[in-house]
Amino acid sequence: MNGGKKDIDPASELREEDEESSLPELDLNEPATGTLANGAAAIARAVKHAPSSPGVYRMIDAKGDVLYVGKAKSIKKRVTSYTRPNAHDSRITRMIAATVTMEFVSTATETEALLLEANLIKKLRPRFNVLLRDDKSFPYILITSDHWAPQILKHRGARTRPGQYYGPFANAGAVNRTVNALQRAFLLRSCSDSFFESRTRPCLLHQIKRCAAPCTQEIDFAGYAELVREANAFLSGRSRSVQKELSAEMETASTALDFERAAIYRDRLAALSAIQSHQGINPRSVEEADVFAVHQAGGYSCVEVFFFRTGQNWGNRAYFPRADRSLSAAEVLGAFMAQFYDDKSAPRLILASDEFDERALLAEALSAKSEHKIEISVPQRGERKELVMHALANGREALARKLADTASQQRLFKALTETFGLPREPRRIEVYDNSHISGTNAVGGMIVAGPEGFRKYQYRKFNIRSTDITPGDDYGMMREVLRRRFKRLIDESPRLTADSALAAVLTGEADDAPDSPWPDLVLIDGGQGQLRSATETLTELGITNVPLVAIAKGMDREAGRETFFMAGRGPFKLPPRDPLLYFVERLRDEAHRFAIGSHRARRKKDIREAGLQEIAGIGPTRKRALLHHFGTVKAIERASLADLAHVPGINAETARKIYDFFHEKAH
């Protein structure tokens, strides 16, 4: 099922934070590459080979890019409808005009076609489909069951480890807060098994009353098992019974004048109250449900999603899918929900704010996928209706905030265009930075931003490969990164390599697609030397019309005093409080963060492969002592200087070397 685009998996490049922090581009009114008559004729030719069975069809343009993915009960009937001289809306007309060929995939049932359609839309990202922009997995709480002393931790991804999973939570912050509160309430351990087995005395978490310390038998097996039972009961929805039990225990201890034990129960009850206070609205009659509400304004759509499990609210998240402004709220919601559950398990009840055409079909498809009945309801009254209206109010507020942010962003891009003398407002900005320690584990990072914000799924890292580069040569590293990036761009988009074609793109006279892979502006962390090196590299590749700007840090690397370098004009600064300066600093800092993160990941991998012997003065004996004391290299990395000095055979000087090795700052 080759759709003409490479399937990119951005998971390894993403930070753990909410990616839906920006609005998508909605300008889908680019000039069509063909005429309506030619497009209809191409579709008519494809109809001859279209099956009459259920399945999925793809409309493809002259560049081989997928324009649209659709599903149908009968592919032939659906595709034939595009050839009829009916009055199509402007979106369908543009789509037909750009089509030069089609591809079909038959399925056994229409429900299979619906699931396949959602999967292909997410992979191929067609221009004319409603597109769920952020679809990373949600975090869960896991209480393990593969150890005599179960562990509580945050979990994301496949559920391969035995234990009880609770969630989903809307974001990492929500699950982290809940795990911390649960540790205070139930005193469950969060350390790894290897760290647990190596302990000879309780760790700091026991001292601050966040762990019962089963590792050193501060609590017996039966006592710890009771804590685990209470935690599972609380997360399973029996929170009131758990609180009553703890309250009774507190009263018993107080009556027996055991005030120290009573204080422990008091603190645990306070921790449980803190968890519930973060949850906000908790439904009385809805045990498990996802709530979807869509709000439209200003040509944009916001889908607000709330998660309720075991009668408790596990948070909410706002999404801003890319969708043509001609689509109704119901159409956006139906397409969004199908993609949302493509790789997620659905609860038994889904509440929606709008009735959409394929509600029953989606419920059937999700039921078949999960092997139990799933209900999709559009409530009209009662508590369910109140939950939907609550989600709708949140969606309305979220979209209002984003529209205000967008207006501010548009002003910034206009100022950026005027300040740097760009031929048009940039739709794609690429920012480059390098990171290394004395030339080792050198990594180049590229981040991408547009009017809608950071495009994190398009970030790229470049492991510096050249053996000709002197360690620490930032110019040589930047040359390699730019050469690899733009040489690949030339190979993948040869139509833009000529200066005339590129000039047409920059002036808006050619293909104006917002997702063009060619940048309208390149920012580089560095000064005049980096600018000269970058300019020479692009010139060697025949690229002369991509604007380049180098950003040199101020005195003592102080933010707010940056100097900008561009070809053909002298160095210049922006006023210290200029909003544009803050915007450019944010772009530069994001590139720096991404490059350093990539460098550290590579460095940690090398440490794991090479072992601790890479540290001066650490041989097999000291390595064995460190691992026996801390359990893992990760624990050694997190250890303080004082903790390292307590390891047998590690003196103060060696402890300092170990600490400095793991905490040396990257460039």
240 confidence band (pLDDT: 50, 70, 90): low
How far from each other are the two terminal CA atoms of the chain, in whole angstroms? Answer: 44
Domain boundary among 259, 279, 299: 279
Whether residues 511 and 595 fall in one domain: yes
Whether residues 433 and 560 fall in one domain: yes
Structural domain containing residue 274: 140-279
Share of the chain above pLDDT 70, in %: 80
Domain boundary among 72, 92, 124: 124
State the average pLDDT over residues 476-497: 79
Whether residues 187 and 80 fall in one domain: no
CA 207 to chain centre: 35
Beta bridge partners of 66: 60
318 in a structural domain = yes
| Domain containing residue 93: CATH number | 3.40.1440.10
**Which pLDDT belongs to residue 333?**
94
C-beta separation of 146 from 162 below 8 A: yes
**Degrees to nearest 5, angle at CA 72 with 69 and 78:** 90
**pLDDT at 214 > cutoff 70:** yes
C-beta separation of 141 from 169 below 8 A: yes
**pLDDT at 141 > cutoff 80:** yes
**Degrees to nearest 5, angle at CA 88 with 83 and 94:** 85
Q: Is the dihedral of CA 566, 570, 573, 575 positive or negative?
A: negative
Maximum mean pLDDT: which of 110-124, 393-407, 488-502, 585-599? 110-124
**Cis peptide before 24, with omega less than 30 degrees from 0?**
no
78 confidence band (pLDDT: 50, 70, 90): very high
Q: Is the dihedral of CA 267, 269, 275, 279 positive or negative?
A: negative
Whether residues 580 and 641 fall in one domain: no
Our CA dihedral for 244, 245, 247, 253, rounded to 10 degrees, sits at 160
Whether residues 580 and 643 fall in one domain: no
Whether residues 576 and 439 fall in one domain: yes
Distance CA 574, CA 590 (A): 19
For residue 581, what are its two tokens?
């300066």
Element (H, E) at 628: helix 620-630
Whether residues 390 and 325 fall in one domain: yes
C-beta separation of 292 from 330 below 8 A: no
134 in a structural domain = no
Q: Report the candidate in 170, 401, 154, 352 with the shortest Cα–Cα distance to residue 279.
A: 170
Domain boundary among 234, 261, 279: 279
**pLDDT at 374 > cutoff 80:** yes
Q: Report the candidate in 291, 338, 399, 358 with the shortest Cα–Cα distance to residue 26.
A: 399
**pLDDT at 536 > cutoff 60:** yes
Share of the chain above pLDDT 90, in %: 28
Q: Is the dihedral of CA 412, 413, 416, 418 positive or negative?
A: negative
109 in a structural domain = yes
466 vs 3, 439, 462, 481, 487, CA distance in Å? 34, 12, 11, 10, 16
163 in a structural domain = yes
Distance CA 124, CA 68 (A): 9
Q: Report the candidate in 262, 318, 3, 372 with the shortest Cα–Cα distance to residue 134.
A: 318
Q: Report the candidate in 303, 285, 286 with the shortest Cα–Cα distance to residue 294.
A: 303
**Which pLDDT belongs to residue 22?**
46
Whole-model pTM over 0.75: no
Distance CA 392, CA 383 (A): 14
554 confidence band (pLDDT: 50, 70, 90): low
85 in a structural domain = yes
| Domain containing residue 621: CATH number | 1.10.150.20
Whether residues 561 and 647 fall in one domain: no
501 in a structural domain = yes
Q: Helix 382-419 and helix 579-610: axis angle, to 10°?
A: 100
Whether residues 269 and 326 fall in one domain: no
428 confidence band (pLDDT: 50, 70, 90): very high
Residue of higher predicted confidence among 510 and 281? 281
State the average pLDDT over residues 274-279: 54
Distance CA 235, CA 230 (A): 9
State the average pLDDT over residues 43-63: 92
Whether residues 193 and 306 fall in one domain: no
Number of domains comprising the chain: 5
Whether residues 194 and 254 fall in one domain: yes
469 confidence band (pLDDT: 50, 70, 90): low
433 in a structural domain = yes
| Domain containing residue 392: CATH number | 3.30.420.10
Task: Report the 10 Å Cβ neighbour count for 646.
Answer: 11
**Which pLDDT belongs to residue 612?**
61
408 confidence band (pLDDT: 50, 70, 90): confident
Whether residues 371 and 254 fall in one domain: no
129 in a structural domain = no
Distance CA 134, CA 454 (A): 12
Mean of the per-residue pLDDT values for the chain? 80
